[in-house]
Amino acid sequence: MTKKFKAAIIGSGNIGTDLMIKILRTGKHLEMGAFVGIDPESDGLARAQRMGVPITHEGIDGLLNMENWGEIDFIFDATSAKAHLVNYEKISKFPNKRVIDLTPAAIGPFLVPPVNFADLHDVPNVNMVTCGGQATIPMIAAVSRVAKVHYGEIVASIASKSAGPGTRANIDEFTETTAHAIEKVGGATKGKAIIVLNPAEPPLVMRDTVFTLSDMASQEDIIKSIHEMVAEVQKYVPGYQLHQEVQFEVIPKENPVFVEGLGHVHGLKTMVLLQVRGAGHYLPEYAGNLDIMTSAALATAERMAANMKGETI
């Protein structure tokens, strides 16, 4: 049997628990080595214990003191931006540990699997941006590989019930991190991000709207690029799809729009409407915002592990 790499998850909330179940059910190169929380009564820790996963409720220090710490190859941090700063300061003292950061801390470079994995496959700490970033940056990058994108804006609408305390405590970090990643990874000169917590009942699935303003280019080429990128994301998030066909509007030179930080801009406006439905491993299907984060993190670690074995996936 091919050896699997052991993974530890820090954070016993919804994201951490969903990620654990994904590894247990679908892990090809990874297996669970530890599940870490700070609340001994948390549902996630209880569930992990029932599944035979080694646990600790003493946070990062508890993980470092576990008997099998030396065997851990990958650490997923599903806590908060502030907690990750403390966690990574301690983890970084140990060589050969790969950290996948699911918080907005962004100590390491932003990674969106179908866009820039090849450039970051051996980096010790990578940041998964945000749920909105994972859903929308591939679309901005799809336009960017056809035409220069001057402005990229995303609006992520998620069910209020799928926004836990970690998400709510990091709203500012969400918008800032996502906007920065739109520029850094998506290729836009200027980026902006907005998140909407939708209280509708029954809860609605994640919906994302992506706007780009680019140089003029073939609309057919942009549509083709977008559909190819959607197919790439669907390899690890099957519930990712276009909600409507791509829409365009020509902004003429004689009637430009004003973009803060850029001034008056003209060109081709592209609008992409997305829907993200979760896989339902642990979380409800409407929580596509959480599912795309855990799925992207797992896809990243699986590809890293495959590379470490000399394989490709």
Per-residue pLDDT tens digits for 98-131: 999 999 888 999 999 999 999 998 999 999 999 9
- Statement to judge: residues 76 and 19 lie in one domain: yes
Average pLDDT, the chain: 95
- The pTM score is 0.94
Would you say residue 44 lies in a domain?
yes
- pLDDT, residue 313, reads 59
Percent of the chain with pLDDT over 90: 91
Mean predicted confidence (pLDDT) in 146-169: 92
The band of 2, judged by pLDDT with boundaries at 50, 70 and 90, is confident
- Statement to judge: residues 123 and 176 lie in one domain: no
- Statement to judge: residues 135 and 278 lie in one domain: yes
CATH no. for residue 18? 3.40.50.720
Catalytic annotation on 131? yes
Structural domain total, the chain? 2
Q: What one-character-per-residue DSSP string does the chain give?
A: ----EEEEEE--SHHHHHHHHHHHHH-SSEEEEEEE-S-TT-HHHHHHHHTT--EESSHHHHHHTSTTGGGEEEEEE-S-HHHHHHHHHHHTTSTT-EEEE-STT-SS-B--HHHHHHHHTT-SEEE---HHHHHHHHHHHHHHTTS-EEEEEEEEEEEGGG--HHHHHTHHHHHHHHHHHHHHTT--SEEEEEEEEE--SSPPPEEEEEEEEES---HHHHHHHHHHHHHHHHTT-TTEEESS--EEEEE-TTS-EEETTTEEE-EEEEEEEEEE----SSS-TT-HHHHHHHHHHHHHHHHHHHHHTT---
- Statement to judge: residues 170 and 265 lie in one domain: yes
Would you say residue 313 lies in a domain?
no
- Statement to judge: residues 112 and 150 lie in one domain: no
- Statement to judge: residues 112 and 136 lie in one domain: no
Would you say residue 189 lies in a domain?
yes
- Statement to judge: residues 239 and 146 lie in one domain: yes
- Statement to judge: residues 277 and 297 lie in one domain: no
- Statement to judge: residues 181 and 123 lie in one domain: no
Name the catalytic one among 131, 139, 159, 268: 131
- Statement to judge: residues 245 and 223 lie in one domain: yes
Range of the domain at 228: 131-285
